[in-house]
Amino acid sequence: MEKKKLLKYWKNNIIRDERILKVLEKVPRENFILEEHKDYAYVDEPLPILKGQTISQPTTVAFMTQALEPKKGQRILEIGAGSGYQAAILSEIVGTKGKIITVERIYELFEYAKDKLKDYSNVEVILGDGSKGYEKESPYDRIIVTAAAPNVPDPLFDQLKENGILLIPVGGGFFGQKMLRVKKIKGKKEAENLGSFIFVPLIGEFGFK
């Protein structure tokens, strides 16, 4: 599928915010995938990257970006840097006054994402257990998790600002999960189920062991 066809589909079915659509148009997905898969950059499906991990389906990235409700100047934590593609999109949205912290547990992917994001000055790539978040830069306006957890990890919710949004797939293994948009209202969780998805599991102390 050509990029312009995907953009048209997103505009008609998913993206209400014109600013997000412009960023999806601007950021080249082909720069974040392996050389051997570049011809499939705009096929609407996940693609393998390194160490058994994937770059998410383009429409999933578009959906999650919309659901996160990112805004200019925000501080956003991403769990699962992967290829760096989602972080690049969020980087463009928050702008120079915002910051993206993205945490990756797999060393090879940490290095891969760091290289792909080297021109994004407002992105910091961290090697570590993403299920524990990254307390040093907290609290965050938004937190997005790109792997499925058994439940909402307490450290992530604790690192979320009041009235902030945490977007996370929750459910077991590769059998499908529900995408939760969790808002922090007076210190409590208000969760909304946005539908079913399939993600790799979140491995870590507060994820799958």
Cα separation, 111 vs 113, in Å, equals 6
Determine which one of 56, 83, 91, 131 is catalytic: 56
Q: Any idea how long the chain is?
A: 209
Q: 204 with 150: CB under 8 angstroms?
A: no
Got the DSSP string for 78-91?
EE--TTSHHHHHHH
Q: Is 109 left (phi over 0), alpha (psi -120 to 50) or beta?
A: alpha
In the residue annotation, 56 being an active-site residue is answered as yes
Q: Rounded CA gap, 27 and 29, in Å?
A: 6
For residue 50, the tally of other CB atoms under 10 A from its CB is 16
C-alpha angle 44-126-139 in degrees, rounded to nearest 5: 95
- Long-range own/partner contacts, residues 23-31 (CB < 8 A, 24 or more apart): 23/65, 23/89, 23/92, 23/93, 24/61, 24/62, 24/65, 24/89, 26/92, 27/85, 27/88, 27/89, 27/92, 29/3, 29/55, 29/58, 29/85, 31/116
Catalytic residues: 56
